[in-house]
Amino acid sequence: MVARHDQTSDPELLAALLQARRGTAFFARKLNELSDAELDGDSLLPGWTRRHITAHIGYNARAIARLVEWAATGVETPMYPSTEVRDHEIGFGATLSPIALRHLFDHSAVHLNVEWRDLPEDAWHHKVRTIQGREVPATETVWMRSREVWMHAIDLDNGASFRDIPAPVLERLLRDITGAWKTRGTDKGLVLRVTDQALTVGDTTSDSPTVVSGPLAAVVEWAAGRGSSGVTATTTGPAGSNGTATSNGRVPAAPKWI
Ligand code: ZN
């Protein structure tokens, strides 16, 4: 029997599901504002048109639905056979007719939502594996989708901005990004100061850090490699006989994230 409501009653998970569904609705709104001809236009991602973004979001929903099905059945169904297959699929999807591309987005989003809705309470804790090889509980699929729909709605480049993303989503994005830097050791000497949240992250033990500061939305936009409007950079020299020297400088490019 098909359920009409989420099977989970975990409040944190339900809140995450709401965030992902709102992000999907937000992406749908930005996509629907574009005419068929405008789909051919550039996105914010180098080498990708809006068609590539839309195809990617559609196939991403299918890939995440495969993980949810894996959690439900115990039968291993990976997101994609390989990253090459994923990239090839996006390239193919970008050549679809506008109507087919819009259907791909709509149908895949509805399908994923049904898989989430019908996943039994305990199956949410079953382990699945992401394309990066991480073993995660099925609950993680909600965040994996959330960050895709919110960020790529902006990448469609037709008016959405990081200020449209809810603060809890921005905070988690920032943790993901700075966590990836830390793992790779690319955050040395870099501190991020979020002025509207009293939040400081990064290499806070450095004695001559470059501090990038601004409101949460601007800091995340910069950290995600989407531009430096709204942030400033300050570099403090190491303490010497003349004390510390602080200078305001050009905002550096953020370390690579993905
Ligand atoms: Zn993506």
C-alpha angle 169-172-177 in degrees, rounded to nearest 5: 125
Are residues 127 and 219 part of one domain?
no
- What per-residue confidence (pLDDT) applies to 78? 93
Task: Write out the residue range of the structural domain in which residue 200 sits.
Answer: 168-249
Same domain, 55 and 29: yes
Average pLDDT, consecutive stretches of 10 residues, N- to C-terminus, the chain (258 residues): 80 96 98 98 96 98 98 95 94 98 98 97 96 94 98 97 96 93 90 92 88 96 93 77 59 88
pTM of the predicted protein model: 0.92
Domain count, the chain: 2
- Same domain assignment for residues 134 and 220: no
CB burial of residue 198 (10 Å; 0-12, 13-18, 19+): exposed
Distance 176 CA to ligand 1 centre (A): 14
Query: What is the DSSP code (8-state) at residue 234?
Result: E
Instruction: Please tell me the distance from the alpha carbon of residue 239 to that of residue 224, in angstroms, as a whole number.
Output: 31
Q: Ligand 1 center to residue 151 CA distance, Å?
A: 8
Among residues 160, 180, 213, the one where a domain terminates is 160
Cα(160) to centroid(ligand 1), Å: 16
Q: How far is the CA of 220 from the centre of ligand 1 (A)?
A: 16
C-alpha 23 – ligand 1 centre gap (Å): 13
Residue 5 counted as domain residue: no
Which CATH number covers residue 195?
Answer: 3.30.1050.20
Residues 131 and 177 in one domain: no
What does the pLDDT read at residue 243? Answer: 44
**Domain ends where: 160, 184, 205?**
160
- How far is the C-alpha of 237 from the C-alpha of 196, rounded, in Å? 26
* Interval between CA 56 and ligand 1 midpoint (Å): 7
**Beta strands 210-214 and 232-236: pairing type?**
antiparallel
The CA 243 to ligand 1 mean position distance, Å, reads 45
The dihedrals phi and psi of 201, each to the nearest 5 degrees, come to -135, 165
Same domain, 47 and 132: yes
Q: What is the pLDDT of residue 89?
A: 96
Q: How far is the CA of 236 from the centre of ligand 1 (A)?
A: 35
According to the model, what pLDDT value does residue 241 have? Answer: 43
Residues 124 and 21 in one domain: yes
Q: What CATH number has the domain bearing residue 37?
A: 1.20.120.450
Q: Which two tokens stand for residue 183?
A: 């793992």
Distance from the alpha carbon of residue 148 to the mean position of ligand 1, in angstroms: 5
* Residue 241 Cα to ligand 1 middle (Å): 49
**How remote is the CA of residue 168 from the centroid of ligand 1, in Å?**
19
Q: Is 4 contained in some domain? A: no
In a domain, 30, yes or no: yes
Same domain, 187 and 213: yes
